[in-house]
Structure 1
Amino acid sequence: MPDIKSTTVLNNFRQAAQAGEFLVTAEVAPPKGGDPAHMIKMAATLKGRVHAVNITDGSRAVLRMSSLVASVILLQNDIEPICQIACRDRNRIGIQADLMGAHALGIRNILALTGDPVKAGDHPDAKAVFDLEAVRLLQLIRKMNQGVDHNEQLLTDGALDLFTGAAVDPQCASWSGLQSRFERKIEAGAQFFQSQLITDFDRLEKFMDNIASVHKKPILAGIFLLKSAKNAQFINKVVPGVNIPQHIIDRLAKAKEPLAEGVKIAAEQVQIAQQLCQGVHMMAVKREDLIPQILDLAGMGKVTH
C-alpha cells in the first residue's frame, strides 16, 4: 500500500470533460488472480491516447480483483483510472467505506452502476445485495461530496471530491424509460455518461438531439472491437440490448483478416461518434493494445493533459 502522503491525484479526465474536449476512455478488466502485470501492460499501451482507463467492478458478475485496488495500482503506474462501483456486492456501509478509501488513495473518477445480475456470472449461487442501485448511489456520492454520509451525518474527517458518471443505453427499447432514467441520473448528480456498446448510430443521434443536448453533460459512445463474425454473433446472443447489424457480421465473415476488419469498423464508428457526442469509450476485450491502432485509423491524435 502506498504512503498516503505521496499518493498521486490525477484530474485530467475531469478537466478535459469540463473544458468540452472530445473525451477518450478505454476499458481494462482487473486481473483474475493476484498478479496485475497483464492489466498494467495493457493499460500502459493506452498512455497518451486516452484521458482515463476504466476499471470494471465485477462485470457480468464474473470474479476479478477489486476495482478499487486495481485502480490504485494504475495510479501507482501514473495512469488515471475511472473506478467502477457496482451495487450488487456491497451494502451502503461497504460502499461508503470504499468511496472514502478511494478518495484517500487519490482516485477521483467514479462510474456508478447498479451491477449485473449474479445469475449471469461464474458464481450463480452467490447472494446479491443490491442495497442501492445506480440512481441512489449517485445521490449517496453527491452527499459525500457535500460532507455528509447516507444518513446526513457529518463526515468529520472531510468531504470527498469525486467526479461521478453513470451508464446510459441510447438503444433502450423504451424511449420514455430511457429519458426518465437519464434525467433521474442527472438530478442525482451524474457529471458524465458512458454508453453501452453502440451499433445503431441513428438512435444515438436521436438520443443526443432529443434528450441529452438539453443537459449538456458529456456522453461517451461505447465502441467495441469485434474480432470476428463469430464474436459478433456471440455478443448478440449474450449481451442484453445489443443487436449488431447483419451487414457488419457479413463484413467480418467475408474479410480475409477479420480482426483487422474489426479494427477498421471500430475506427469508422469512432469517426461517426465524433460528429454526435463528446467522447468515446473503447472496449477491446483482451486486445486493449489495439486501441491506439483504432484511434490512429480514426485520425485521433494524442490526448492533451
Structure 2
Amino acid sequence: MANPSNQSDQVKSTTSLLGQAIADRKFLVTAEVAPPKGSDPFHMLEQARQLKGRVHAINLTDSSRAVMAMSPLAASVLVQQQTGIEAVYQLACRDRNRIALQGDLLGASALGLCNILALTGDPVKSGDHKDAKSVFDLESVRLLKLIAKLNQGIDINEKQLANGGTNLLAGAAVDPQLGSWSGLVRRFERKLEAGAQFFQSQLITDFDRLDKFMHEVGNASGKPILAGIFLLKSAKNARFINKYVPGVNIPDSIIDRLAQAEQPLQEGIAIAAEQVKMAKDICQGVHLMAIKTEHLIPQILDLAGVEPIAQD
C-alpha cells in the first residue's frame, strides 16, 4: 500500500500544464466541452479526444445557462484521466454555498485537478429548472479570494486546513464587450486583485473593442486574456444566440454571410478561423466554443495557422 503522506505530497506538488504554458508566454488555446445531460460520458470523451495536441486545456462547463448537466467536477476528472488532456473545472456559485464550494475545491485538488474557472453563474430563470432555488452565497470575486485562501492552507474563516494548502490555478471570465466601460474595468481589476491568473472572454465579435480593452486594460495586467471564439453553424444559429444568450450581439454582416453561404457550417468554420487570426494579433490566446461539434476545432485552428501543441 502507498504511504498516505507520499500521496499527499504528490497532490501538493501538482503543477498545471496550463500554468506552465502561461509562464512560458505561449499563445494559449483552450476549448469548451459540455458535460452530458445524462450519466453516459461517451460522447463528451469522444469530442474531447479530438482535441488532443491542439489545446492546452479543456473547459468543462457547470450547467451552462442554468441547464442541468453532469457535475463538472466528475466530468473534469473523467476527461483528464481518460484523454490525458488537462481540464479546466468551471465552478459556479449559483448552486452552492461556501461550505459546498470549499468541499468541491478540496475534492478537485485531491483528484488531481489544477485549473479552476471561478464563475458567478447564469441565473436560474434562464435555464430548465426555473423553480430551483438560487444560492449565490458568494460570487466570482469572492470565490477567487476563497481559492487564494485554500492555496494558503486556510479556509474561508481562516482556520488551518489539514496537511497544508491546495495548488489551484484560478481563472476568471471577462466580457470586453460589456456596455459599461467603467463597470468592465472595475470588475476586471477586482478579479485581478482577488487572484485571477488567466481570463477567458465571452463570445467576441467586436475585435475593435477587444483591441481597446487589451491596450487600455488587459496588457497592463500581465495576465493572459483568451478571446472567446464561437463556431456559428448557420444564420439561424446566430439569431438564436443573439436572442437567448445575454450580452451577445452577432452583427448582421456575419448573419448575412452565413445566410448567403451554400455551406453555412463551412462558412462558420471560416469565420471562426478569421477571428482566431485577429485574436492572435491582439491578445494572448483563444477560448474556442463549438457546441456538440468540438471535433471541428482542429480544422478551425489549421485554417487560422495555429500549430499543434508539442506533447512532452
Distance 1:169 1:118 in 2: 20
Q: CA deviation at 1:158?
A: 1.9
Following superposition, the deviation at residue 10 of structure 1 comes to 6.3
Deviations 1:164-194 (A, max 9, x none): 0000000000000000000000000000000
CA contact (8 A) 2:56 2:85 kept: no
- Residue 259 (structure 1) aligned with residue 260 (structure 2): no
Residue of 92, 97, 102 corresponding to 1:86: 92
8 Å contact from structure 1 (residues 30, 65) kept in 2 = yes
Equivalent residue for 2:23?
18
Report % sequence identity: 66
> Could you tell me whether the CA contact under 8 Å between 1:88 and 1:114 is conserved in 2?
yes
- Of residues 278-287 and 11-20 in structure 1, the stretch that sits farther from structure 2 once superposed is 11-20
Bigger shift: 155-164 or 93-102? 155-164
**Is 1:192 matched with 2:219?**
no
Which secondary structure state, in structure 1, belongs to the residue aligned with residue 51 of structure 2?
Answer: coil
Give TM-score, length-normalised by structure 2.
Answer: 0.95
C-alpha separation between the residues in 1 aligned to 2:69 and 2:107? 19
TM-score normalised by the chain length of structure 1: 0.97
Using the TM superposition, give the Cα deviation of residue 264 of structure 1 relative to its aligned residue in structure 2, in angstroms.
0.2
Deviation at 1:304, TM superposition (A): 2.6
1:26–1:53 CA contact under 8 A, matched in 2: yes
Shift of 1:241: 1.1
Count, aligned residues: 302
Give distance in 2, aligned partners of 1:195 and 1:304: 25
Question: Is 1:279 paired with 2:285?
Answer: yes
Whether contact under 8 Å (2:14, 2:167) holds in the other structure is no
Looking at structure 2, the residues matched to 304 and 279 of structure 1 have their Cα atoms a distance apart, in angstroms, of 16
1:3-41: per-residue Cα shift (whole Å, max 9, x none)?
Answer: x95989562111001111000000000111110000000
> 2:255 is paired with a residue of what secondary structure?
helix
Counterpart of 2:69 in structure 1 is 64
Distance (whole Å) between structure 1 residues aligned to residue 35 and residue 223 of structure 2: 28
Instruction: From 100, 103, 107, give the equivalent of 2:113.
Output: 107
Three-state SS of the structure 1 residue aligned to 2:32 is: strand
Paired letter, 2:244: V
Once the two structures are superposed, residues 133-179 of structure 1 have per-residue CA deviations (whole angstroms, 9 ceiling, x without a partner) of 00000000001101100000001222000000000000000000000
2:34 pairs with 1:29: yes
Alignment deviations for residues 195-221 of structure 1 (CA, whole Å, 9 cap, x no partner): 000000000000000011111100000
Q: For residue 137 of structure 1, what is the aligned residue in structure 2?
A: 143
- SS across alignment from 2:73: helix
Q: Deviations along 1:270-295, whole A, 9 cap, x unmatched?
A: 00000000000000001000000000
Distance 1:91 1:214 in 2: 34
- Structure 2 residue 127 is the aligned partner of structure 1 residue 121: yes
| Alpha-carbon displacement from aligned partner over 1:107-153 (angstroms, at most 9, x marks no partner) | 00000000000000000000010000000000000011011000000
2:55 maps to: 50
Gaps of 5+ in 2: none
Aligned to 1:242: 248
1:152 has 2:158 as partner: yes
Partner amino acid for 2:36?
A: P
SS at match of 2:20: helix
Which runs of 5 or more structure 1 residues have no equivalent in the other structure? none
Which letter does structure 2 place at the counterpart of 1:164? Answer: A
SS at match of 1:206: helix
The offset of 1:58, in angstroms, is 1.1
Instruction: Determine if contact 1:10/1:107 at 8 Å carries over to the other structure.
Output: no
Q: Secondary structure at the match of 2:31?
A: strand
The whole-number CA distance in structure 1 between the counterparts of 2:250 and 2:190 is 28
Of residues 230, 247, 253 in structure 2, which corresponds to 1:224? 230
Distance between the aligned counterparts of 2:136 and 2:93, measured in 1? Answer: 5
